[in-house]
């Protein structure tokens, strides 16, 4: 049996309609920006394998660090124990994050990093309002504590948001066909539009009215990824954040996609002067080699958990919390990312993207592309064909066509985007652009 046939018999793939599914492509090797299939064909991975592979595939430096760590300590329980990679990574992350963050909480993917942030901020308000008798916890009637008057319990999020697939993360994400089967199980969230010149005053008014009931505001800074690479401007986001912060609402920046250079800066939150209280990271964190999630918080959040009341403990963790291999991969990825060479490549891709966007827009009417936008290493536009549907078949045909030309892209509905590994060469990037032009034709 071929790999495809064996797969067909036993595997259930993510985000994949299973009936009449096309056989998945067997990939046997990855090197730099290239993926190789069984037949020896090569494809430029122009979306960094779902936005994670920032230094390319098969990176020798990361691989060697992983190998050494695997022989030293591959895993250990993280409650009551610690290890060098976890501590070193926290020490290296904290100073480069866009605010004065004081604590790193580990989990194991992007969804769990946002899930942790949601729980952390809800419990922050619960802890603040938690009833104690003479400084001692109420051991009975725990239920009463969750209905304390005046406790903030609402969450604020953007329409078209995507924060992951676990229940909390789904709740604060856009309600769509992807979450339809669970709508009655998702908690209530106040959804607002992303800010712009025309709606900013209205948004500020709404937040000023509802503010004292809102526990936290979760947002993807400047680019809504899975929602269709929708971009919005830092200027209006700053105004919105100012209002949100004035209402004492905890700000959670979901930088799972935007972190580690994607938007041209190390973190997209750097584009705003108003900074988050909690920041979520994953995807590029380990250079795309291992699953790891990080939720960082400021001291204000952490202090709410420092109490003699044991009920104020943050009861959350995963078997693979702070896995030493994953932390080591993140440390190695950070070495590579912070080198002049890599930071320079990020700027170079950003400049090339701008030039290509200009070129695309001059061909606009002929190519029926619209809404061409760039932020750092991300470029996105819609192929105009009537409907804006994620389930649209156009994505499949574009993917197929591009593959035939040696480039892997995976449009979100009719939204075509590229998000290449930073190690992409001049020739490869040109090939990606040319493929897009040919494909549109
Ligand atoms: C991908 C993504 C997530 C979910 O991360 P997973 O590792 O896939 O669970 C959350 N938030 C954003 C902004 C993402 O792009």
CA of 363 to the centre of ligand 1 (A): 33
Question: Given the DSSP bridges, would you call strands 278-281 and 250-254 parallel, antiparallel or unpaired?
Answer: parallel
Pairwise CA distance, residues 295 & 302, whole Å: 12
Is 64 within the bounds of a domain?
no
Mutate to test the pocket of ligand 1, among 47, 115, 162, 320 (most ligand atoms within 8 A of CB): 162
User: Residues 6 or more apart from 384 whose CB is under 8 A from it?
Assistant: 368, 369, 370, 414
User: What spacing in Å lies between the alpha carbon of 278 and ligand 1's midpoint?
Assistant: 16
Residue 55: CB within 6 Å of ligand 1? no
Average pLDDT over residues 130-156: 60
CA dist list (Å): 266 to 71, 364, 421: 31, 31, 15
Write out the two tokens for 139.
Answer: 């051991």
pLDDT at 436 over 80: yes
The stretch 107-120 carries a mean pLDDT of 98
What are the DSSP E strand ranges found in 150-200? 154-158, 189-192
Q: Which two tokens stand for residue 147?
A: 């209905």
Instruction: Give me ligand 1 centre to Cα 166, in Å.
Output: 10
Distance 170 CA to ligand 1 centre (A): 11
pLDDT per residue over 60-82, tens digit each?
Answer: 999 999 999 999 999 999 999 99
The tens digit of pLDDT for each residue in 249-264 reads 999 999 999 999 999 9
* Cβ–ligand 1 contact at 111 (below 6 Å): yes
Question: Does residue 357 sit in the same domain as residue 277?
Answer: no
pLDDT of residue 149: 56
Residue at which a domain ends, from 308, 337, 366: 337
What is the arithmetic mean of pLDDT over 183-212? Answer: 97
Average pLDDT for 186-193: 96
11 exposed, middle or buried (CB, 10 Å; 0-12, 13-18, 19+)?
A: exposed
Tokens of 409: 């892209």
Return the ligand 1 atom nearest residue 226 CA.
15
Domain extent, residue 21, equals 3-59+339-440
Whether 289 contacts 329, CB under 8 Å: yes
Q: Which of 192, 280, 175, 181 is nearest to 236 (CA)?
A: 192
Percent of the chain scoring above 90 in pLDDT: 84
The residues that bridge with 189 in the sheet, in sequence order, are 155
| Cβ pair 288, 49 in contact under 8 A | yes
Instruction: List the residue whose alpha carbon is closest to atom 15 of ligand 1.
Output: 257
pLDDT for residue 313 is more than 60: yes
Do 170 and 248 sit in the same domain of this protein?
yes
- Residue 294 and residue 178 share a domain: yes
Whether 282 lines ligand 1, by a CB cut-off of 6 Å, is: yes
Pocket mutation for ligand 1, best pick of 282, 285, 290 (most atoms within 8 Å of C-beta): 282
**The Cα angle at residue 230 between residues 226 and 236, in degrees rounded to 5:** 130
C-alpha distances (whole Å) from 66 to each of 4, 62, 73 are 30, 6, 10
Same domain, 328 and 424: no
pLDDT value of position 338: 98
Residues 376-384, mean pLDDT to the nearest whole number: 92
CA dist., res. 4 & res. 25, Å (int)? 7
Do 309 and 422 sit in the same domain of this protein? no
Q: Kindly state whether residues 256 and 322 are assigned to the same domain.
A: yes
Residue 20 CB coordination number (10 Å): 5
* Residue 42 burial (CB count, 10 A): 15
For residue 220 and ligand 1, the question of a CB distance below 6 A is answered with yes
Quick check: is 66 in a domain? no
428: Cβ below 6 Å to ligand 1?
no
pLDDT class for 144, splitting at 50, 70, 90?
very low
Do 389 and 247 reside in the same domain of the chain? no
On the CB side of 389, how many CA atoms lie within 13 Å of its CA? 9
Cβ–ligand 1 distance for 258 under 6 Å, the answer no
Q: What angle do CA 86, 169, 176 make, to 5 degrees?
A: 150
- The minimum-distance atom of ligand 1 relative to the CA of 254 is 13
Tokens standing for residue 169: 């993360």
Q: How many CB atoms lie within 10 A of CB 87?
A: 13
143 Cα: distance to centroid of ligand 1 (angstroms)? 32
Is 290 found in the same domain as 198? yes
Alpha carbon distance 155, 169 (integer Å): 11
351: phi then psi, degrees, rounded to nearest 5: -65, -45
* DSSP assigned state of 283: G
Nearest ligand 1 atom to alpha carbon 164: 4
**Cα–Cα distance, 179 to 175 (Å, whole number):** 6
Of 313, 337, 361, at which residue does a domain stop? 337
Q: How many domains are contained in the chain? A: 2
At residue 369, the pLDDT reads 60
DSSP string, 318-344: -TTTT-HHHHHHHHHHHHHHTSHHHHH
Q: How far is the CA of 179 from the centre of ligand 1 (A)?
A: 15
Written as six digits, the tokens of 330 are 């993140």
Q: Is the CB of 257 under 6 A from ligand 1?
A: yes
Task: Report the CATH number that the domain containing residue 380 is assigned in CATH.
Answer: 3.90.1150.10
pLDDT > 50? residue 145: no
């Amino acid at each position: 049996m071929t790999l495809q046939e064996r797969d067909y018999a036993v595997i259930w793939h993510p985000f994949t309609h299973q009936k009449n599914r096309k056989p998945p492509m067997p990939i046997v090797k990855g090197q730099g920006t290239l993926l190789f299939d069984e037949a020896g064909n090569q494809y430029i991975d122009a979306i960094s394998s779902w936005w994670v592979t920032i230094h390319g595939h098969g990176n020798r430096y990361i691989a060697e660090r992983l190998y050494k760590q695997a022989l030293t300590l591959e895993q250990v329980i993280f409650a009551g124990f610690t290890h060098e990679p976890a501590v070193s990574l926290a020490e290296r992350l904290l100073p480069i994050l866009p605010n004065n963050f004081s604590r790193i909480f580990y989990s194991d993917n992007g969804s769990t990093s946002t899930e942790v942030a949601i729980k952390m901020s809800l419990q922050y308000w619960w802890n603040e309002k938690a009833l104690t008798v003479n400084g001692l916890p109420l051991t009975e009637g725990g239920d009463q504590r969750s209905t304390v008057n005046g406790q903030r319990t609402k969450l604020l999020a953007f329409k078209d948001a995507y924060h992951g697939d676990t229940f909390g993360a789904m709740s604060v994400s856009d309600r769509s066909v992807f979450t339809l089967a669970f709508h009655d199980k998702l908690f209530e969230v106040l959804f607002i539009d992303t800010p712009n010149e025309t709606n900013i005053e209205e948004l500020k008014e709404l937040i000023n009215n509802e503010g004292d009931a809102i526990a936290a505001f979760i947002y993807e800074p400047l680019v809504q990824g899975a929602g269709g690479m929708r971009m919005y401007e830092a200027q209006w986001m700053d105004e919105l954040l100012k209002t949100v912060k004035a209402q004492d609402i905890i700000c959670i920046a979901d930088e799972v996609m935007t972190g580690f250079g994607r938007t041209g800066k190390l973190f997209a939150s750097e584009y705003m002067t108003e900074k988050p209280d909690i920041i979520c990271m994953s995807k590029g964190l380990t250079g795309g080699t291992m699953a790891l999630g990080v939720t960082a918080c400021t001291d204000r959040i952490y202090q709410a958990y420092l109490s003699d009341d044991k009920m104020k403990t943050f009861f959350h963790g995963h078997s693979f919390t702070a896995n030493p291999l994953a932390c080591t991969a993140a440390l190695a990825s950070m070495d590579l990312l912070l080198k002049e060479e890599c930071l320079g490549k990020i700027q170079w891709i950003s400049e090339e993207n701008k030039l290509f966007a200009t070129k695309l827009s001059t061909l606009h009417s002929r190519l029926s592309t619209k809404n061409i936008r760039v932020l750092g290493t991300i470029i996105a536009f819609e192929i105009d064909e009537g409907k804006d549907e994620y389930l649209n078949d156009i994505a499949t045909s574009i993917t197929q066509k591009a593959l035939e030309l040696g480039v892997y892209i995976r449009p979100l509905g009719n939204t075509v985007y590229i998000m290449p590994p930073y190690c992409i060469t001049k020739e490869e990037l040109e090939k990606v652009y040319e493929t897009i032009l040919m494909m549109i034709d």
